[in-house]
Chain A
Amino acid sequence: TQLLEQSPQFLSIQEGENLTVYCNSSSVFSSLQWYRQEPGEGPVLLVTVVTGGEVKKLKRLTFQFGDARKDSSLHITAAQPGDTGLYLCAGAAETSGSRLTFGEGTQLTVNP
């Protein structure tokens, strides 16, 4: 069973602060995705990373895939209230075929 552990579970910060969310596993993943979910809605894909060491930037969000493809991080610069939501990482192991394993999520609240 592949497990993805996210930390922190909850994060409450002020507008303008920076933050990093971590996603760790003892398993190797062929790819890893980050989603954001708002209340009453389904998750929406932010990014997919597939290469060990890969870094992708999406405006103020920076995603990194670990060299060993076992971990990932999401860094948000100058957080805004609109960034509030549940951030989920999801990994696909080479042996799991179709299945995505989701982490428990990080609930981020950005206060104005």
Chain B
Amino acid sequence: GAGVSQSPSNKVTEKGKDVELRCDPISGHTALYWYRQRLGQGLEFLIYFQGNSAPDKSGLPSDRFSAERTGESVSTLTIQRTQQEDSAVYLCASSLGPPSGGAYEQFFGPGTRLTVL
């Protein structure tokens, strides 16, 4: 497909377990973003990857959260020892390149809905 894809679409886990969320960006897009969206709220920035540069991790809420990206392809967001407050939709987006003031359009995937029981 031509769009950003994410898997799984839904994930239900027990408190204390680790989860891995996957994002496949649009081919050729060098920039990749992860966001968290709680029910009825806006998007909370988590992490940004741009090419081979060091990622901007300034939005990660705790050291239980980490993300990796291999080159300019797939990214995984890992949440260790999940807590109930981690329940949210996790959205991935990709764009052609550095935002240059936000001018580059971000294309979003459908998100992964995480529920921690």
Contacts and interface: CB of A to CB of B under 8 A. Distances in A.
Contacts of B103: 31, 48, 50, 92
Interface string B20-61: 000000000001010100001111110010100000101100
A4 B109 CA distance: 23
B102 A91 contact: yes
A78 to B, nearest CB: 27
A44 interface: yes
B105 A102 contact: no
Interface of A: 4, 6, 29-33, 40-45, 48, 50, 88, 90-92, 94, 97-105, 107
Contacts of A105: 40-42
Contact of A48 (B31, B50, B105): B105
Interface stretch (B68-76, B77-85, B91-99): B91-99
B108 interface: yes
Contacts of B101: 30-31, 50, 92, 94
Residue from B31, B43, B103 having most chain A Cβ neighbours under 10 A:
B43
Contacts of B50: 98
Contacts of B110: 40-42
B114 to A, nearest CB: 14
A33 B56 CA distance: 21
